[in-house]
Amino acid sequence: MILYDTLYLTLYASQNIIMNQFQLFKSRRFLPLFFTQFLGAFNDNIYKNALIILIIFQGSSLYGIDTNILVTFSAGIFILPFFLFSATAGQFADKYEKSMLIRRVKILEIVIMSFAIIGFYLENVLILITLLFLMGTQSTLFGPLKYSILPQHLSEKELTGANGMIAMGTFLAILLGTILGGILILLENNGPIIIMGIVVILAILGFFTSRFIPKAEAAAPDLKINWNMASQTFKLMQYAMENRSVFIGIIAISWFWFMGATYLSQVPAYSTSVLGGNNEVVTLLLTMFSIGIGLGAMMCEKMSRGSIELGLVPLGAIGITLFSIDLYFASQSFIALPNGDMMARQFLEISGSWRILIDLALVGLFGGFYTVPLSAMVQKRSNFHHRAQIIAANNILNALFMVISAFSTVILLHVGFSIPQIFLSLGVLNVAVATILFLQLPEFMQRFTAYLRFNRKGE
């Protein structure tokens, strides 16, 4: 019955899912922020993947450090500022007018990307990794601003749709940036030069769109900045725990990023080592996963009927578990070509390939159902006077869960787990985590039950 309801509601919501949300694109309250966020995420991922490819495929090294360690180190360098500077970023976002701060953050991006010209021209990994840290810092400063400004510009009925569009744009930017950065940096002779031009142009375009974001008053103009990272981080967590539903929502969002980070990090290796595919298959699987999340995020507005519908969170959790488990069984029955290095066309011709693609897309789609209402709830229910600091606390925990994901995956692989078994473990573990969260906040299941009842009556 649960499987039937899950699939039925998904198919029902897929009708006319986009029209209401695209109305937001007609409003200055949302459109400039959307493109500022999209361009920033796009630029981050072009830069990050170009650097990773430069390290791996061109044999670049830093003081003799192994390339695999250097790639892992680079990923950590980008996340590190979220631990170091989120507490300060949240205070700034509450103390000052937000549209002004966003413009200054985008100016910082232009400066950083201008120095990247030197790094890519010299193919100097030390310079590029240093700038990656600064890009992470810039993203850390932008995070509390972009999510705390939404409730100031939009009504409660618009929040779910806006968060859905932001999530869709972010994952699309991650996908496109990852693909484009990898392709361009490998172009003979001109690759680094093209990357140099693109990252600067995107930074300038991001600043241009940020100039049209309407003003958003300071939430706490009299706030005295606490520069002590440790004590202020502790204070952020206290703010987050003031409202029980907000804190549980933050933990649930962080768990989503744990799962999402695991999938995004393991899909490339899964594509090559399990399915026997080449980079075309990697791109195809990542595309299906990203499209799934984007589509699920946009469908939330239709399924919520203009409200913040927490009943979608259990629905999303059920779907993630079902299709993570099915992905394991689909992988077991898939027979790869013996010679490996399979192209996308060959992959699609093999029995079971479409099942794998659909499973990945549906894991992403139900992930969208899961995370968008949570984000909208956290924004709406947070105390206005320190909303940005609560979002900064969310960013810290998101980063922490992503780091835990990386270490957990390394340990599982080390003790002999296959990648399909890791996906299976995620599905099973999601049942346990979701159960704990839903018991801690019964509102989730109450809304889910009411949501099912309402849709059965309505249809």
DSSP 3-state assignment of 342? strand
What is the CATH T-level fold of the domain 2-458, as seen in this structure? Growth Hormone; Chain: A; (1.20.1250)
What are 190's two structure tokens? 């001109």
pLDDT digits (tens, 9 = 90+) for 115-149: 999 988 887 888 888 999 999 999 999 999 998 99
64 torsion bin: left (phi>0), alpha (psi -120 to 50), beta (else): left
Average pLDDT over residues 448-456: 80
Give the Cα-Cα-Cα angle 47, 213, 139 (nearest 5 degrees). 30
pLDDT band at 65 (very low <50, low <70, confident <90, very high): low
Kindly report, residue by residue over 225-243, the tens digit of the pLDDT: 999 989 999 999 999 999 9
* Alpha-carbon distance values, 339 to 282, 285, 418 (Å): 17, 20, 20
State how far the Cα of 298 lies from the Cα of 312, in Å rounded to an integer: 13
What is residue 62's predicted lDDT score, i.e. its pLDDT? 55
DSSP letters, 20-49, are HHHGGGG-TTTHHHHHHHHHHHHHHHHHHH
| Mean pLDDT confidence for 422-448 | 94
Around Cβ 269, how many Cβ atoms within 10 Å?
13
Residues in the chain: 459
CA distance 210 to 121: 29
SS3 7: helix
Of residues 194, 215, 240, 192, the one with CA closest to residue 145: 215
Structure pTM?
Answer: 0.87
Predicted pLDDT at 276: 86
| pLDDT greater than 60 at residue 434 | yes
Residue-wise pLDDT for 328-378, tens only, equals 999 998 887 776 678 889 889 888 899 999 999 999 999 999 999 999 999
Comparing 72 with 403, the larger pLDDT belongs to 403
Model pLDDT, residue 2: 47
For 8-21, what is the mean pLDDT? 49
For residue 257 the two structure tokens come to 């990023």
Q: SS3 letters for 277-307?
A: ECHHHHHHHHHHHHHHHHHHHHHHHHHHCCC
Burial, 228: exposed, middle or buried (Cβ in 10 Å; 0-12, 13-18, 19+)? exposed
pLDDT, residue 185, reads: 81
Contact 386, 380 (CB under 8 A): no
What pLDDT is recorded for position 126?
85
More confident residue, 380 or 69: 380
Per-domain residue ranges for the chain?
Answer: 2-458
Mean pLDDT across the chain, nearest whole number? 87
Which pLDDT value is given to residue 247?
96
